[in-house]
Amino acid sequence: MALYSDKVMDHFQHPRNVGKMEDADGIGEVGNAKCGDIMRMYIKVDHDTQTITDVKFNTFGCGSAIATSSMATELIKGKPISEALTLSNKAVVEALDGLPAQKIHCSVLAEEAVRAAIRDYYDKNNIPYGDELRECDGHCDTCHQEHE
C-alpha cells in the first residue's frame, strides 16, 4: 500500500491556490516548531455576504503540509466565513483520502491557518468573534487533539 493517497500526491505536486495575496483581507500564519512546517493563509472576503471569494497560501514544509494547505483552500474558497469556520483537520484528511498518522499534524496546521486568517479579518474589521475562534487552551475542539 502506498504511504500517500493519489489526492495527497496530486495536491503536493500540483498545489491549488498557491501564492501571495497583496490585497488580502485576512492573513493567518501558523507553524509547528517540532517539524518546522510554516503555513501562511491569505483570504479575500466579500464584506456584504461574508463569503471568502479568494484564498491563497504559502507553505514551507513537507509534502503533507503543502497538500493539506492546498486542500484547505479548496474546501473554503467560495464559502461563507461561517462555513469556513467549521472546517476541521479531519475534513481535510478525509478530502485527501487519508494521511499517515505521523502527518496528521499538517492537517491541524491547515485548519489553524484558516482560523488565523479569519481571526485577522475579524480583528481588522472590528468584528467580535465567539467560541468558534477562541484560542486553543490545550484541550479543545479547535484542533481536535489533546496537547502536551
Is 36 part of a structural domain of the chain? yes
Q: Residue 127: count other Cβ atoms within 10 Å of its Cβ.
A: 13
Over the stretch 113-137, which tens digit does the pLDDT of each residue have? Answer: 999 999 999 999 999 877 777 665 5
Catalytic residue status for 136: no
Is 80 part of a structural domain of the chain? yes
DSSP code string of 20-79 = --TT-SEEEEEE-TTT--EEEEEEEEETTTTEEEEEEEEEES-HHHHHHHHHHHHHHTTS
- Its domain, for residue 119, covers 6-125
Over the stretch 28-75, which tens digit does the pLDDT of each residue have? Answer: 999 876 768 899 999 999 999 999 999 999 999 999 999 999 999 999
Total of domains in the chain:
1
Is 12 part of a structural domain of the chain? yes
Is 50 part of a structural domain of the chain? yes
Catalytic residue status for 62: no
Which domain CATH number covers 120? 3.90.1010.10
Of the candidates 35, 62, 136, 140, the residue annotated as catalytic is 35
